[in-house]
A = this chain, B = another copy of it.
């Protein structure tokens, strides 16, 4: 595959991923293209449904770029869903209005597990086409992040069939038949690796693994059933994108702050943290080995702009001064929320956040 794209105008995010000094702390927001934007709602209404939006290259490109038109964010992230891979495995993903995702077929016994296999990546062509389309549309403004759910997080939905408050079914299977769970996770890991590699080939400049439900696991089970398979994904990922640049890998485990000692040496460039973690303590644990991404509580964005600004400064302060030596690598911070932005967020509060992070982080480097 030979694809040529224009060079980046703003590579601040990629530099921070590589632990290179930057003039300011880059930021992007998980779920930055979403329902808090009226223009997103308008496009979604045109598309008719969430999957209608995600599977249409033009719509996916349009909504991915919408937040960048409003705010000077430092990265774009592919508009898609974490459950596209099990859908391609034949589980039948749907989104009922006002509810979360749901699979027509759940994987709960030996016979169902036996049918699982790495899906034909051609079934996910709509995702890779969207990546290429978005990268072209970005025209070098900021880098494009590709993503997938983690093997464990996908397994949660595949076994439960939908979201869960107690993870009873998936944990019952894990504790009762660890052999079956390991089989599901191995297939998921190899599928996610192929999926992310195809996104890289299509033009993704960084990739992120969302381990949204790793934090529900017990100590010990997290290491065996989530982290191990995230590592299996990481080990298979391409390190170079279509433009010959290295492709940073980000791992985000919601609720994973308690296991930072276990995560600090995994084979990736960036660790994402939720709001329960203290960035200064995390920096001390992780040392200089990885960039850190996070971690404002998305609920801060419901407060008035001056509170948003104060809380954003507190997050930047908790990380401390990033390194500023242009000739070496060192501790870097990528500002983000600790989880996806809420659909009820006032967009003007996001503007205050972006402005504060950019200006205060410049100031912090001069202090």
Could you say which residues of chain B place their CB within 8 Å of the CB of A295?
218
Whole-angstrom CA separation of A151 from B346 in the bound complex: 29
A143 at the interface (CB under 8 A from B): no
**A302 adjacent to B172 (CB under 8 Å):** yes
Which single member of B172, B220, B257, B311 contacts A175 (CB below 8 Å)? Answer: B311
Whole-angstrom CA separation of A278 from B221 in the bound complex: 11
Whole-angstrom CA separation of A233 from B159 in the bound complex: 42
A314 at the interface (CB under 8 A from B): yes
Given A171-B302, A257-B258, A342-B166, CB of A297 within 8 Å of CB of B176: no
**B168 adjacent to A344 (CB under 8 Å):** yes
Could you say which residues of chain B place their CB within 8 Å of the CB of A166?
299, 342
Q: Which residue of B lies closest to A277 (CB)?
A: B219
Given A168-B342, A342-B166, CB of A307 within 8 Å of CB of B175: yes
How near does chain B come to A71, taking the closest CB pair, in angstroms? Answer: 20
A338 at the interface (CB under 8 A from B): yes
Could you say which residues of chain B place their CB within 8 Å of the CB of A304?
176
A276 at the interface (CB under 8 A from B): yes
How near does chain B come to A47, taking the closest CB pair, in angstroms? Answer: 25
Question: What are 17 A-B pairs with beta-carbon distances under 8 A?
Answer: A166-B299, A166-B342, A167-B299, A168-B302, A168-B342, A171-B299, A171-B302, A172-B302, A175-B307, A175-B311, A176-B303, A217-B275, A218-B276, A218-B295, A219-B275, A220-B278, A257-B258
A-to-B contact residues, CB < 8 Å: 166-168, 171-172, 175-176, 215, 217-222, 255, 257-259, 275-278, 295-297, 299-300, 302-304, 307, 311, 314, 318, 338, 342, 344
**6 shortest interchain CB distances as A-B pairs:** A171-B299, A175-B303, A218-B275, A172-B302, A218-B297, A219-B278
